[in-house]
């Protein structure tokens, strides 16, 4: 058991400050445990979101020492011993209270996506799809909607970008639908016009923070951009192709 120093953002979108707390930390504790302990004993009204405490629901996203992380999957012993741990809300979304942000913009993006549209109905046996043809789709579907990638994407950080680009999470979802062997809807025009794939300039910052290690940029966004280019035009993708050649897709 060791006493450690913390600073947690308290306040709302307009006003707020970093408040200092001390908390005893024992073996195996994660940052979310610390937040809960402070909540139970020092600040009953400290707002935070969480559900599963096991990295599966994507509720507890915050910034820890400036890095977007899941609070429930960040062990205290990963963080430097003698340094104050600073916990702040996600930067890309408005603060509701303390470290809880308003993520409703993400739900709005999802709503705009054409839903799964089965190409045939087989209620007797179900679909016939080979495992190798769904591997990539399943990889995308591991997403826990933590929005850490959304938070990280510089296009979305810039508020105006929010009107133009759905962000890496929804590029991943679009890719999972487009690559689903039994889906018949066409979303390529939407990918470009509604969801703004052209805004992404392949910096890969989103991929770096994904707790599910989804290859967002390489496996989802680039193939989507390829499809857009094949039909329309994407300046960044044209340049990318010039530099690296056309990438072959493994899954159709």
CB of 59 to another protein, least distance (A): 5
Does 64 contact ligand FES by CB under 6 A?
Answer: no
Candidates 80-88, 102-110, 223-231, 235-243: pick the segment binding another protein (CB under 8 A). 102-110
Does 153 contact ligand SF4 by CB under 6 A?
Answer: yes
Candidates 112-120, 163-171, 195-203, 240-248: pick the segment binding another protein (CB under 8 A). 112-120
Residue from the set 20, 51, 117, 201 that interacts with ligand FES by CB under 6 A:
51
CB of 244 to another protein, least distance (A): 30
Candidates 1-9, 85-93, 124-132, 233-241: pick the segment binding another protein (CB under 8 A). 124-132
Report the distance separating Cα 8 and Cα 17, nearest Å.
8
Report the distance separating Cα 221 and Cα 163, nearest Å.
18
Radius of gyration of the chain (CA): 21
Does 103 contact another protein by CB under 8 A?
Answer: yes
Footprint on residues 182-221 left by ligand SF4 (CB under 6 A): 200-206, 209-212, 214, 216-217, 221
User: Do the beta carbons of residue 64 and residue 85 sit within 8 Å?
Assistant: yes
User: Do the beta carbons of residue 158 and residue 233 sit within 8 Å?
Assistant: no
Q: Spell out the alpha helix ranges (H) of 44-145.
A: 104-111, 131-140
User: Do the beta carbons of residue 71 and residue 62 sit within 8 Å?
Assistant: yes
1, interface contact from ligand FES, another protein, ligand SF4, none, CB < 5-8 Å by kind: none
- Strand 85-88 to strand 2-11: parallel, antiparallel, or no bridges (unpaired)? parallel
Report the distance separating Cα 132 and Cα 155, nearest Å.
33
């Amino acid at each position: 058991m060791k006493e450690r120093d913390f600073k947690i953002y308290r306040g709302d979108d307009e006003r707020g400050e970093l408040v200092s707390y001390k908390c005893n930390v024992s073996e195996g504790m994660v940052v979310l445990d610390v937040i809960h302990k402070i909540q139970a004993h020092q600040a009953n009204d400290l707002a935070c979101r969480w559900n599963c405490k096991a990295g599966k629901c994507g509720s507890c996203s915050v910034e820890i020492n400036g890095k977007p992380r899941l609070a429930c999957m960040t062990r205290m012993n990963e963080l430097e011993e003698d340094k104050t741990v600073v916990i702040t809300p996600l930067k890309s979304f408005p603060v509701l209270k303390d470290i809880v942000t308003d993520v409703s913009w993400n739900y709005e993006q999802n709503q705009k996506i054409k839903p799964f549209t089965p190409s045939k109905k087989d209620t007797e046996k179900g679909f016939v799809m080979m495992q190798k043809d769904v591997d990539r789709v399943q990889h995308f579907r591991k997403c826990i909607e933590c929005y850490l990638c959304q938070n990280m994407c510089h296009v979305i950080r810039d508020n105006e970008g929010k009107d133009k680009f759905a962000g890496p999470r929804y590029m991943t979802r679009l890719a999972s639908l487009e690559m689903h062997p039994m889906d018949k809807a066409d979303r390529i025009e939407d990918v470009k016009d509604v969801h703004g794939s052209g805004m992404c300039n392949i910096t890969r910052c989103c991929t770096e923070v994904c707790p599910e290690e989804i290859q967002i940029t390489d496996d989802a966004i680039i193939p989507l951009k390829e499809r857009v280019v094949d039909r329309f035009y994407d300046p960044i993708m044209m340049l990318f192709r010039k530099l690296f050649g056309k990438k072959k897709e493994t899954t159709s």
